[in-house]
Copies of this chain bind each other. A is one copy, B any other.
Amino acid sequence: MPRDPDLLFRTLADPTRRGIFEQLCRRGEQTVAALTAHAGVSQPAVSKHLAALKQAGLVRDRPEGRQTHYSAQPKALAPLADWTQQMASFWDARFDALEDLLKRMDQ
């Protein structure tokens, strides 16, 4: 159930790639050409980033004629949110344990 967030972290670590994903989240489905217009890198670079995002499940592609439409799959971010939550909860648990100990010592 707590899926491995490794691929997710690696995929989102690159700012250009993260920018493309953000663009898709903000503006919705877009073609490669539209994404390239904002990405600041060449079209092949964008295609490679899209392939990486697809590999991580963060986007879906919808081929239509000679163009391909991509859209974000924000659901795929769940393992990331889970991981973050888990780290915080570990910390909280220890904090609670300390609080508990202090209370006990106070008695």
Contact = CB atoms under 8 A, between A and B. Distances in A.
Interface of A: 6, 9-10, 12-13, 15, 18, 21-22, 25-28, 72, 74, 77, 80-81, 84, 87-88, 90-91, 94
Minimum-distance CB pairs A-B, first 6: A13-B13, A25-B90, A74-B91, A25-B87, A9-B13, A26-B90
A87 B77 contact: yes
The oligomer's copy count stands at 2
Nearest to A18: B9
Contact of A22 (B12, B15, B81, B87): B87
Contacts of A21: 87
A9 B6 contact: no
